[in-house]
Amino acid sequence: MLAEVKMYLEMFKYIEVKNIKTVLQVGNKDKIFGSLLRLALDKQLYDVSYYLLLLDGDDINDIPQGLYEKIYTLDTIGKNTFDLSVIPQALDFLDQQQGSALVKLIHKHTLQQVFIMTTDSYLQQRFNWTIVDFQSYEVFYYYFDCEGKSKNIFKLYPTKNVSEISLQIQLNPIPTRLHIGFVVPDKNLTGGLKMFYEQMKYLQKRDHKITVILRGTEEKATPDWVENFKPDHDIVISNAETYLKYLTHCDVIFAGFFSQLGELENCDIPVMYWEQGSESIYGDIYLDYKNESTYRQYLTDMYSKNIYLASDSTFVHDILKAKYNRESYILPNLIDTTFYYPDQASEKNRNQLTILLVGNPHLRFKGFGKALTALRQLWLEGQRFKVKWACQVEPIISSELPFEIEYYINISQSELSQVYRESDILLSCSIYEGCPMPPLEAMASGVAIVATDCGGINQYAKHEYNALISSNRTIEEITNYVRQLLNNDNLRNKLIENGLATARDLNYETGIERLEEILQSIVNAHQLEWKKESLNKKTKILFVIGTLGGGGAEKVLVNLVKYLNKELFDITVLTMIDLGIYIDAIKEVVNYQTIYKTVASSQEELLNIQKRHQFLNTLTPAAFSAEVIDEVYDVEVAFLEDLSTRIVANSPNKYSKKIAWVHTDLMTDNSVATLFNSEEEQKECYEKFDHIVCVSESAKQGFVKRFNEFGKVQVLYNPIDVDDIMKKAKLPLETEISKDKFIIISIGRLVPQKGYERLLRIHKRLMAEGYDYELVILGDGPLKETLNQYIVDHELGDSTRLLGFKDNPYVYLSHSDLFVCSSYVEGYSLVVAEALMLGVPVISTLCAGPDELLEQGNYGMLVENNEQALYEGIKLLLSHVIKFEHYKKQAVIRGKQFNLKQSIIKMAGLFKDSVPLNQQEKLFYHQGKKEVKVTVFTPTYNRGYCLETLYKSLQNQTSHDFEWLVIDDGSTDKTHDLFEQWMQEDNAFVMTYVKVKNGGKHRAINKGTELAKGELFFIVDSDDYLVDNSIERIIYWESTILEKEKFAGVSGNRGFTNEIIIGDTFEGDFIDATSLERDTLNIKGDKAEVFYTRLLKQYKFPEIEGENFITEAVVWFQIAFDGYKIRWFNEITYICEYLEDGLTHHAIEVAMKNPKGYQLANELFQKFYNEEHTVKK
């Protein structure tokens, strides 16, 4: 009796009593338990009610009166719930099936905690209960010894829900070579850490880079017991340092222990933790029971972190799901079958078999006490065998054993593999484990297995196929299985043969692909999530450039940073030298920094600047970059081919996206190579960039030829601010030029490669031949004095104007008749493009950029790159009026093709990845609110095969004051792909594409009027198209309306062709009438109505549930009935294609499918016409 009292009092220490009001005792095997429980709890709690659940075999007699509020049976417990349920000994008398059913029932009726005690006696029980039997619950485990008896305590809690990450595997079509960071917890030889290093070894063999990082004081992170492996980076950090500081170069981080997850969670790199069944997830926490609630919350916090989880077995996967509602990849342990293999060289001594134990004797869950008890029993019954034990430390065994044990203490892995080969039977009695390695290593080594059902072993072991597995974990069953293998060679050989087959299936050579797939999938998923988040997160960009002088590249940079949306981008421009006319323009819109200051406000500042310059000049390229780039950026751009390239290439921000801009053909002219130590260093710098952006196709070809680089090189044309150019072109001239003479102009830096010396020589020849024109040159540079002297020496002052740099060159261009590009080398010439925009014809020497801009001479005259050819070309244009007028017309056509917004959006898309089509407009920063006049609206459904005709007609419009808004009504064809392609093209109009659930044309129109930005709303069906001047004529006729508030809009005619109209029309240019009056005025047939958007927002189409069509006339007639007129003008603006799959050909079928809409239309028409076309005034 006294022993039981002591046992129960010890047990009660583990009961957590916070907020307990109701207690259920399960079973009444020991009559004193209920009284002791009440006595113990009443000391800590008040107003507690106690209940008893009687089980089969319990005696209801002699229960003290008043001890329980109520006594239940399994049939009467009903739906009652209790804060605490206690099962003191009942499971000791039940088998696994009966006990599990009881626990499941009690857990269902318990709100806070189920408290279970079982006896840990291997010899007497029907079933030995362990943590494994409760892994579908959140469980914590303790044990204690009392009066020679061992007791297990299991505490079961309700399952908590935490956030879950989807774990679908998404593979790249081409496997990516990853850089993987492994964060190891220590250097101890454990099965889990051993598997960690095996994975590293085989990933490295498959060309992945491996970084191992350890926090501690050791010289290196990798343990000495690891064989045949050296990581790419081996890093040891102090306790004060963070892991992430050293892992920014990695694609994915592999955490080694759950305690690291809090530190690793909030980084930009995906993190995966591979749970191999640590004691903590089983609830075996090795802590004082008083700290349990704190540790329980800690575990919940760790496993709810925003990281990816993998499990080494289905068993561990199910535990994580049950306890923390977390999904995890299943990544079983693998085995190196070239390292662990059977002994083929010598025959084992079969007269006395060797039984092997493997593992740390200090780890109670390994169950070595149970294994030794079984071996002792076998020995005492007369069985003879040898025993070997491979362990980290020599065990302390409390009682003398009848047999000797040969210990192998802290041996190398090679020695361990040999010990396996010299053994016959592995005995593994673990209480719980994830995917245990010793049995798998034994299988690969040709050793038979006896093991307890520890949960994870079932990942690869199958009872009586490749192992004998004790399911009830009793000494009797374990002893019986070992006895069978000692005495039955056939059974032992069968298990060995099948074990070898299992090991071959789980070898690293084939199994490592599963880990690769998981890691790649994690990287893919993380990148996708990052891209979604980045749409709403500012991207920090650094642009590095030499100076902000008056060159074309500097001007492009001003345009680029000016029009990038500052709500999405945080931009800094860093110059090498604090010089340039565009500095103020940059400072107005973004952050500005410089490396070498050129102006000092005091003598003291001047000295400091000089010291700073001297210091910078002593640094290596890497140290220089680290000194001048002192912030973390998401994107870093070298915007010129100069030292900007070297600075960004050596940036300390290893994880930033790096982009290099190339403005010239480096194959033809690589003079910038002198800024590097060698061309090899220049090439190495470019290799460090993620993207190379060339401003022309020729610049791309030159780069590819010189550096043999293909994959990351692309062409993005310079953004040109057309509106700004047009506005400035209309301003007054700063310096007068001749109004009476033909003006030839050239603009650029006064440097040798621009060819101005030869242009002056050509000018001298033409003057001598009597041609009367004026040559104007704008620009500044080192050749200024040389050119001025030539003009003086050859008496060209009256016909030559060297005007220097001008802030507004466009006004001079607009007053000129011909633009000349005399360059020896030229990239994508910004000034040539600007001349074309202003309609100024162009003649250029044959350089890569102008050749591309002028499309091989189609839009301007191209001549061979020599002085004589340029002379003859200029002379031809001065002499040949028809040729000159041809190129003037072509300049106008080419000038209309430049589009600032699309250029900026393409570049911004490079800085911020994978922006959806319908959100790309956000990348562009609108200067003020710029509205378009017309919204061309197209509802479409599965018309991908004919949409291109409409698209081409919009590109050909003479006015671009419109947007194209497309509502895709649930198409299943290639429509989306077409718009994805078209929205990447340079168009002079904004295109917006929105895909919605199929709902019919009238719902699409309602949606379209909500999104429209135009003042006018023009519905153009997907199978029709517009004549070239349609938008221009619509805008003109709308401008003729004086009392706009009385009008619904305007309408042109529809035609079968540009000349044959559909229906009838009136005589004269235009007529004003409502839609209800049109028939009386001979305005018959389909017309091209264009409505004021404000009206259509007011007059919505009825949306009838279950129907997808209602005629447009329902709204048009209602607008007319309310008195709004349309200005009908007598011009064809719209060409119809009545296709077989259109509504026109299926009117009757459509009406039958949409009866309510058809009926509503009829009722409205009768209403309108019954009032004899009378409309409201």
Confidence of residue 1173 (pLDDT cuts 50, 70, 90): very low
**In contact, 614 and 548? CB cutoff 8 Å:** no
Q: Which of 876, 875, 732, 878 is nearest to 806 (CA)?
A: 732
Number of Cβ atoms within 10 Å of the Cβ of 926: 10
The residue written with tokens 């290093």 in the block is 197
For residue range 532-570, what is the model confidence (pLDDT) as tens digits? 565 567 889 999 999 998 778 898 899 899 888 888 889
The residue written with tokens 């101005």 in the block is 756
Q: Which of 800, 810, 740, 752 is nearest to 774 (CA)?
A: 800
The mean predicted confidence, pLDDT, of the chain is: 86
**Residue 336 predicted with pLDDT over 50:** yes
CATH topology of domain 931-1170: Spore Coat Polysaccharide Biosynthesis Protein SpsA; Chain A (3.90.550)
Locate 23 and state its tokens: 């207690």
**Residue 1021 predicted with pLDDT over 80:** yes
**Residue 605 predicted with pLDDT over 70:** yes
Please check whether the two domains, 179-330 and 354-506, share a CATH topology.
yes
- Judged on CB neighbours under 10 Å (0-12, 13-18, 19+), 231 is buried
**Residue 693 predicted with pLDDT over 70:** yes
Confidence of residue 119 (pLDDT cuts 50, 70, 90): confident
What kind and span of H or E run contains 477?
Answer: helix 475-487
The pLDDT of residue 929 is: 43
Query: If you average pLDDT over residues 208-230, what whole number do you get?
Result: 93
CATH topology of domain 2-157: Rossmann fold (3.40.50)
Cα(238)–Cα(321) distance, integer angstroms: 35
Cα(786)–Cα(767) distance, integer angstroms: 20
Helix axes 881-895, 867-879, angle to 10 degrees: 100
Helix, strand, coil percentages, rounded to 5, for the chain: 40, 20, 40
Question: Percent of the chain scored above 90 by pLDDT?
Answer: 49
Cα(490)–Cα(509) distance, integer angstroms: 31
Of 49-63, 71-85, 171-185, the range with the lowest mean pLDDT is 171-185
Cα(503)–Cα(622) distance, integer angstroms: 49
Of 260-274, 542-556, 640-654, 1004-1018, the range with the lowest mean pLDDT is 260-274
Cα(368)–Cα(717) distance, integer angstroms: 73
Of 21-25, 380-384, 959-963, the range with the lowest mean pLDDT is 959-963
The pLDDT of residue 376 is: 95
Domain boundaries along the sequence of the chain? 2-157, 179-330, 354-506, 538-715, 722-897, 931-1170
Cα(1130)–Cα(1139) distance, integer angstroms: 25
The pLDDT of residue 345 is: 54
For residue range 258-311, what is the model confidence (pLDDT) as tens digits? 888 888 886 678 899 988 877 877 878 765 666 777 777 888 888 888 889 999
Q: Which of 310, 239, 219, 298 is nearest to 273 (CA)?
A: 310
Query: If you average pLDDT over residues 410-431, what whole number do you get?
Result: 94
Cα(236)–Cα(234) distance, integer angstroms: 7
Cα(35)–Cα(936) distance, integer angstroms: 86
CATH entry, 538-715, from 3.40.50.300, 3.40.47.40, 3.40.50.2000, 3.90.1150.10: 3.40.50.2000
**Residue 123 predicted with pLDDT over 80:** no
Confidence of residue 383 (pLDDT cuts 50, 70, 90): very high
Q: Which residues contact 1168 (CB under 8 A, 6 or more apart)?
A: 1076, 1117, 1120, 1121
Cα(54)–Cα(26) distance, integer angstroms: 7
pTM, two decimals, is 0.53
CATH superfamily of the domain spanning 354-506: Glycogen Phosphorylase B; (3.40.50.2000)
Q: DSSP secondary-structure letter at 924?
A: B
Q: Which of 258, 252, 255, 254 is nearest to 323 (CA)?
A: 258
Q: Which amino acid is at 1088?
A: A
Query: If you average pLDDT over residues 860-889, what whole number do you get?
Result: 94
Query: Between the CA of residue 741 and those of 132, 194, 769, 771, what are the distances in Å?
Result: 99, 87, 16, 11
Q: How many helices (H) and strands (E) does the chain have?
A: 38, 42
**Residue 1165 predicted with pLDDT over 70:** no
Cα(855)–Cα(697) distance, integer angstroms: 11
Q: Which amino acid is at 1013?
A: K
Cα(679)–Cα(706) distance, integer angstroms: 10
Count of residues for the chain? 1177
Phi, psi of 935 (to 5 degrees): -100, 110
Kindly write down the DSSP assignment for every residue of 502-561, as one continuous string. Answer: HHHHTBHHHHHHHHHHHHHHHHHHHHHHHHHHHTTSPEEEEEEES---SSHHHHHHHHHH
**Residue 357 predicted with pLDDT over 80:** yes
Query: If you average pLDDT over residues 878-892, what whole number do you get?
Result: 91
**Residue 832 predicted with pLDDT over 80:** yes
Q: Coil, strand, or helix at residue 1125? A: strand
752 HSE (CA, 13 A, CB side): 2
Cα(451)–Cα(468) distance, integer angstroms: 6
Number of Cβ atoms within 10 Å of the Cβ of 733: 13
Of 61-75, 1123-1137, 1163-1177, the range with the lowest mean pLDDT is 1163-1177
The pLDDT of residue 64 is: 77
Cα(316)–Cα(455) distance, integer angstroms: 8
The residue written with tokens 């049976």 in the block is 73
The residue written with tokens 């009056």 in the block is 1077
**Residue 915 predicted with pLDDT over 70:** no
Confidence of residue 644 (pLDDT cuts 50, 70, 90): very high
The pLDDT of residue 164 is: 46
Cα(76)–Cα(89) distance, integer angstroms: 22
Query: If you average pLDDT over residues 880-887, what whole number do you get?
Result: 92
Cα(284)–Cα(288) distance, integer angstroms: 11
Is the dihedral angle over the CA atoms 90, 94, 100, 101 positive or is it negative?
Answer: negative
Locate 850 and state its tokens: 């102008």
For residue range 494-537, what is the model confidence (pLDDT) as tens digits? 999 999 999 999 988 778 888 888 888 888 777 666 655 655 67
Question: Percent of the chain scored above 70 by pLDDT?
Answer: 90
The pLDDT of residue 121 is: 62
CATH entry, 722-897, from 2.60.40.10, 3.40.50.1260, 1.10.8.100, 3.40.50.2000: 3.40.50.2000
Cα(916)–Cα(895) distance, integer angstroms: 29
CATH superfamily of the domain spanning 179-330: Glycogen Phosphorylase B; (3.40.50.2000)
Of 177-181, 296-300, 558-562, 967-971, the range with the lowest mean pLDDT is 296-300
Q: Which of 935, 1001, 1044, 998 is nearest to 1142 (CA)?
A: 1001
Confidence of residue 165 (pLDDT cuts 50, 70, 90): very low
Give bridge partners of residue 234 from the DSSP assignment: 212
The residue written with tokens 């000295």 in the block is 607
